[in-house]
Amino acid sequence: MLHRLLATALTSACLLISAPAHAKDLTLLSSWDDNYNAVPVFVGQFVEKLKEKSNGDLNIQVRGPETVPPFEQLQPVAGGLFDMLFTHGAYHLGETGMAFGLDAVKDDPIARRESGIYELIDKHYQSRGLKLIGVFSSASGYHFLLRQPIGEDGALKGRKIRASATYHDMVQELQGAVVTLPPSEIYSSLERGVVDGAAWPVFGAMEYRWYEVSDYMTRPTFGVTNQVMLMNLDTWNGLSKQQQDTIMEVARELEVSGRQVFADLWAKEDAAMQEAGLEITQFGPNVAPKVDAMFAEGVWKQVRNRAGADGEAFHKLAVEKGLTSQ
């Protein structure tokens, strides 16, 4: 009996020694569920790698858009109801347009990190109770899914296009009419002809099966699809230096490795979409060379209008570093 008690005591002591002394459990709010492939690639890998690199010291529980609607998530994280946020800059344009500007910045994670842009964005969000952790590129931009091909106008003249704030200026520049609908209504709206097309990241048609209700996808693509990860500033300040360093190390590595994953996924999905029946329709020769600049101009307009002097500084730095087309 004594031997058994000693063995139990020794086992318990070993477990206490091996367990993290200051393990931290964090909650991450995501603007998308697992059907959006950026979630398993970036959030899933971030959670897994962070746990591994911290030896179980840092653990994350993920909550999706069923917990808080995507366009309403910034304030709950800034207020401390959740520790982290994985989202897109356009989803909180009501609060600020700062992170939205990343979609008009060259898709080079290392150059972006070295440019000083992240420091500007981080400082801006810190004034709102948040810390910038990482910017994750899907290695592709945006396009339009259409019921009919591009016509003689070479653009979208007279067409009703479902578009979030990300694309408003561009749709109008292409002479289309903006229709605001939640993503959940895109399928039925295309099917019933309520809209003639929908703007969306290049990735998405396969997961949401929009190829069943649209026949064309536009080329060339434009812009860069980025997701940002933010952390509540009080949560960040409450972590040890080692914990902070581990989080940033994982983010920097995933910015590079995750982008490569998406580069490979894009090639496969593009082929799959065409196999599913989506045909490529090209913008006209007078329009095609301008679509990226059109998109960037609309993005920077939103950034300047919604982020004030910080937005102006962001745009100026991106131009100086040669990281934007406008």
User: Across residues 291-319, what is the average pLDDT?
Assistant: 95
Tokens of 110: 């290392």
What stretch of H or E contains 296? helix 291-320
CB 202 within 8 A of CB 164: no
User: Across residues 147-159, what is the average pLDDT?
Assistant: 97
Residue 32 CA to residue 102 CA, distance in Å, equals 19
Residue 74 CA to residue 233 CA, distance in Å, equals 12
Percent of the chain topping pLDDT 90 = 77
For every residue of 25-38, DSSP letters joined together read EEEEEESS-TTSTH
pLDDT tens digits for 206-245?
888 999 999 999 999 999 989 999 999 999 999 999 999 9
Residue labelled with tokens 């039925």: 188
pLDDT tens digits for 16-67?
444 445 689 999 999 999 888 899 999 999 999 999 999 999 999 999 999 9
Q: Report the largest interatomic distance among the alpha carbons of the chain, rounded to a whole angstrom.
A: 91
pLDDT at residue 10 in the model: 42
pLDDT tens digits for 84-112?
999 999 899 999 999 999 999 999 999 99
pLDDT at residue 67 in the model: 96
pLDDT over 60 (residue 4): no
Residue labelled with tokens 């810390």: 131
Residue 260 CA to residue 284 CA, distance in Å, equals 31
pLDDT tens digits for 113-145?
999 999 999 999 999 999 999 999 988 889 999
Residue 230 CA to residue 126 CA, distance in Å, equals 10
pLDDT tens digits for 182-201?
888 999 999 999 999 999 98
pLDDT at residue 22 in the model: 65
pLDDT over 70 (residue 321): yes
Tokens of 50: 């962070």
Q: Where are the beta strands (DSSP E) in the chain?
A: 24-30, 58-63, 84-87, 130-137, 142-146, 160-162, 177-179, 197-201, 216-219, 226-232, 279-282
Least confident stretch, 182-186, 287-291, 310-314: 182-186
